[in-house]
């Protein structure tokens, strides 16, 4: 089993050139992730707008890809020593969320972004939809590392693991002497509690537990698959409101051979804490948390489906807003 890893869920050019470099050198973080919402926020600064305005021959999406790929490449360079030393060192960029139901387009865009960035430690982030599973497998088979995102249910995680296994087998058959590309299965955590806790509290049931229980269940499921190039990544770990410690979801999910990607403020709170590696939540504790949700009247499949739908819609909206700002 490997150590617990902490990745930064934030990309912005000034941050990458300054504070992020320091965090990597200090060993505070050893990877980074991005998504359309992060870029939508970053691109509102004047420096990006000035650069975009000069790209008169490019479409809005081409402008986005130029800017995003520059930032991702800078982050990849900052992390390259980690990568070369086997200490993670990956940075993720997501395909256009509007392609989530189109396997061929997702694969084509993933390969194009990977080639444009031209760094070995880039992961292509693909939403965990039916079309996405096939795309993940094809990208891994092509030697490209993949971050499977928007995982809420154990069934999604199982499909991701199967896709990674199939892609890895194809890659290994064609490249027996090359190291396998890496895969991470990004399990979203806090969104469950934001959806469920108010109802659970009204019925006197424990709150702020189901997100961790669900993530723990999926983590154990991934470990049981025994895939040497695939790990669990805990995402959506920021805390809203003041009821929980700012680093609650990171500290509670410090499991061996797992990754936690967190917003910058959450990372700073975590680094100031005295958290240590934990044993995963027991099967009994997990089942109690699941039973509480059922007792509160929730049907789990509906919860999983709703959160996936909302996640896709949020990324699509952020992507659209970002393109509109680049006109």
- Residues designated as active site: 125
Is residue 52 within 8 A of residue 326, CB to CB? The reply is yes
Q: 251-288: buried (b, 16+ CB within 10 Å) or exposed (e) per residue?
A: bbbbbeebbbbbbbebbebbeeeebeeeebbeeeebee
Tokens of 147: 């971050």
Give the Cα separation of 229 and 136 in Å (integer): 14
Q: Which phi and psi (to 5°) does residue 260 adopt?
A: -125, 120
Chain-centre distance for alpha carbon 43: 20
Residue found by looking up tokens 């969104």 in the block: 191
How many angstroms separate the CA atoms of 219 and 283, rounded?
12
Query: Which string of DSSP letters, residue by residue, matches 2-26?
Result: ---EEEE----HHHHHTHHHHHHHT
Is the separation of the CB atoms in 102 and 131 below 8 Å? yes
With contact defined as beta carbons under 8 Å apart, do 211 and 191 qualify?
A: yes
């Amino acid at each position: 089993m490997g150590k617990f890893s902490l990745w930064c869920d934030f990309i912005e050019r000034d941050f990458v050139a300054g504070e992020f470099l320091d965090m990597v050198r200090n060993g505070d973080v050893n990877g980074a992730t991005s998504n359309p919402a992060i870029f939508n926020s970053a691109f509102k600064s004047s420096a990006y707008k000035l650069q975009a305005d000069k790209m008169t021959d490019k479409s809005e999406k081409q402008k986005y890809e130029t800017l995003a790929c520059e930032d991702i490449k800078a982050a990849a360079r900052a992390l390259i020593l980690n990568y070369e030393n086997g200490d993670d060192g990956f940075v993720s960029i997501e395909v256009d969320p509007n392609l989530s139901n189109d396997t061929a387009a997702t694969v084509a865009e993933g390969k194009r972004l990977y080639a444009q960035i031209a760094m070995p430690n880039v992961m292509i982030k693909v939403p965990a939809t039916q079309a996405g599973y096939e795309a993940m497998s094809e990208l891994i088979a092509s030697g490209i590392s993949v971050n499977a995102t928007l995982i809420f249910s154990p069934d999604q995680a199982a499909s991701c693991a199967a896709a990674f296994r199939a892609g890895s087998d194809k890659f290994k058959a064609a490249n027996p002497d090359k190291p396998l590309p890496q895969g991470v299965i990004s399990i979203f955590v806090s969104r469950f509690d934001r959806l469920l806790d108010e109802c659970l509290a009204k019925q006197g049931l424990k709150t702020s537990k189901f997100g961790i229980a669900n993530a723990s269940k999926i983590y154990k499921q991934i470990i049981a698959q025994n895939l040497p190039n695939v790990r669990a990544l805990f995402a959506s770990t920021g805390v809203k409101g003041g009821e929980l410690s700012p680093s609650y979801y990171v500290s509670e999910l410090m499991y061996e051979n797992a990754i936690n990607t967190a917003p910058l403020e959450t990372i700073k709170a975590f680094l100031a804490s005295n958290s240590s590696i934990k044993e995963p939540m027991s099967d009994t504790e997990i089942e109690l948390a699941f039973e509480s949700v059922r007792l509160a009247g929730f049907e789990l499949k509906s919860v999983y489906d709703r959160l996936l739908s909302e996640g896709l819609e949020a990324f699509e909206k952020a992507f659209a807003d970002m393109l509109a700002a680049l006109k």
